[in-house]
Amino acid sequence: MTVKFTINGVGVESAAGANVLDTARRYGFEIPSLCHHEAVVPYGACRLCLVEITKGGRKKLTTCCNYEVLEGISVVTDSPAIRQHRAMVLELILAEAPDAEPVRELAKQYGVDTSRFAKAAGAGTAEKRDCILCGLCVRVCSEIVEVNALTFNGRGDQKGVGAPYLEQPQNCIACGACAWACPTNCIGFVEEGGMRKVVKWKRELPMAKDDQGRPFAPVFQLTHFKQRAKAIQADFYKKAPGDR
């Protein structure tokens, strides 16, 4: 079923169940976001995708990543008020993640070079380095990889992210999906000395080697795959990646 509505006066259509943000981008309208990814359920944390939506005669400023398309609504993606709020949100985010290049770039687009708010406690330290609590790492690990190694903890201004009990995440297979999803690149994903490290979570796993002695994946990860896809033969991973 297609849903018809307007964005900035332009008639658009989308499949029912889609959200306004993805639809707008498909039509080339630029709306900023940091916590959104098409592969996972929208969360609505960063608040950058604020737009004005008029439904049934009532206008409301709302995030559009978690707004399902509706017949007849009209969406406005840019206005002085919207820009002002986005700029303020970016000032808040910049204070949390002062060293994150993607955040600095986006902030510049809205005229924000520095933040009037003091650096977040912990910003720049290894623990809280540039994390903006967008939740993409948690959501990706839960919805796509389905390992559930990470979670939000606490609440309010004490909210954080990490593994249960803030230890090394026990189920983590060091696949790197969280590091790939992170919009501020604050997770860190390296391989050295036969070990794969997901830096932010302090997860280190020894790598398995192929029959030519080259490390290619963590042993723990391979075991996980073998358990989940029972058809993989026991010696499948012994061969070099190119020969399988």
Partner 1 sequence: MDLASVDVIIGKHNGDATALLAIMQDVQDVAHYLPREIVEHVAKRLSVPMARIYAMATFFGSFHLEPRGKHICTVCMGTACHVRGAKRLVEQLERDLKIKSGGTTADMMFTVEEVNCVGACALGPLVILDGEYRGGMTSGSLTKIVEKLGKEEGGK
Partner 2 sequence: MGKIRNPKELHSYREELLAKRTASRKVIAVCCGTGCNASGARKVAQALVDEIQKQGLAKEIDVRPTGCHGFCERGTLVLMHPEETLYQRVKPEDVPAIVEKTVKNGEIIAEHLYDDPVSGEKHVKEYEIPFYKHQERLILGKNGLIDPTKIDDYIALGGYQALAKALEMGPDRVLDEVKRANVRGRGGGGFPAGRKWETCRNAGRQQNALPPSGEAREGGSVPAEKRYVICNADEGDPGAFMDRSVLEGNPHAVIEGMIIGAFTIGSDEGYVYVRHEYPLAVKHLTVALEQAREKGLLGKGILGSGLCFDIKINRGGGAFVCGESTALMASIEGKVGEPRAKHIHTVVAGLNGKPTNLNNVETWANIPLVIEKGADWYTKIGTKSSPGTKIFSLVGKVNNTGLVEVPMGMTLRQIIFDIGGGIPKGGEFKAVQTGGPSGGCLPADKLDIPVDFDTLVEQGSMMGSGGMIVMDDKTCMVDVAKYFLNFLKFESCGKCTTCREGLRRLHELVTEITEGRATLETIQLIEELAATVEAGSLCALGTTAVNPVRSTLQFFRDEYLAHVNEKRCPAGVCKALITYEITDACTGCMVCKKRCPESVISGDKKQKHVIDTAGCIKCGICNDVCKFDAVRVY
Residues near partner 2 (CB under 8 A): 43-47, 50, 55, 60-63, 66-68, 81, 84-85, 88-89, 92-93, 95-96, 116-118, 132-133, 152, 154-159
Buried/exposed code over 15-43 (b: 16+ C-beta within 10 A; e: otherwise): eeeebbbbbbeeeebebbbbbbbeebebb
With contacts defined by CB under 8 A, name the span among 12-20, 43-51, 125-133, 151-159 that binds partner 1.
Answer: 151-159
Q: Cα-Cα-Cα-Cα dihedral of 109, 40, 201, 237, to 10°?
A: -120
Residue 152 binds to partner 1 (criterion: CB under 8 A): yes
Residue 22 tokens, joined:
């993805």
- The H or E element containing residue 74 is strand 74-76
Q: List helix spans (H) across the chain.
A: 20-26, 80-96, 101-109, 136-139, 177-181, 219-228
Closer residue to partner 2 (CB): 83 or 228? 83
Question: For residue 107, how many other CB atoms are within 10 A of its CB?
Answer: 23
**Among 76-84, 111-119, 146-154, 234-242, the segment contacting partner 1 (CB under 8 A):** 146-154
Closer to partner 2 by Cβ: residue 97 or 179: 97
Query: According to the binding rule CB under 8 A, does residue 168 interact with partner 1?
Result: no
Residue 184 CB neighbours (<10 A): 21
Interface pattern 100-139 for partner 1 (x via CB under 8 A): --------------------------------------x-
Q: Minimum distance between the CB of residue 203 and partner 2, rounded to whole angstroms?
A: 24
d(CA 87, CA 110): 6
Residue 228 contacts by C-beta under 8 Å, 6 or more apart in sequence?
Answer: none
Q: Which is nearer to partner 1, 103 or 138 (CB)?
A: 138
Two tokens at 60? 């409301």
Residue 142 sits in the site that holds partner 1 (CB under 8 A)? yes
Is 62 among the residues that bind partner 1 (CB under 8 A)?
no
Which C-beta is closer to partner 2: that of 89 or that of 217? Answer: 89
CA 66 vs CA 19, 37, 169, 180: distances in Å: 6, 11, 29, 22
Rounded to 5°, angle at Cα 168 from 192 and 139: 95
Select the binding partner of residue 198 from partner 1, partner 2, none (C-beta < 5 to 8 A, by kind): none
Residue 140 binds which of partner 2, partner 1, none (CB < 5-8 A, kind-dependent): none
165 binds partner 1 (CB under 8 A): yes
Rule CB under 8 A: say whether 157 interacts with partner 1: no
Amino acid at residue number 243 = D
163 makes contact, choosing from partner 1, partner 2, none, with CB < 5 to 8 Å by partner type, with partner 1
Report the residue from 6, 54, 66, 148 that binds partner 1 according to the rule CB under 8 A: 148
In the complex, the residues that contact partner 1 under the rule CB under 8 A are 138, 142, 148-155, 163-165, 170-171
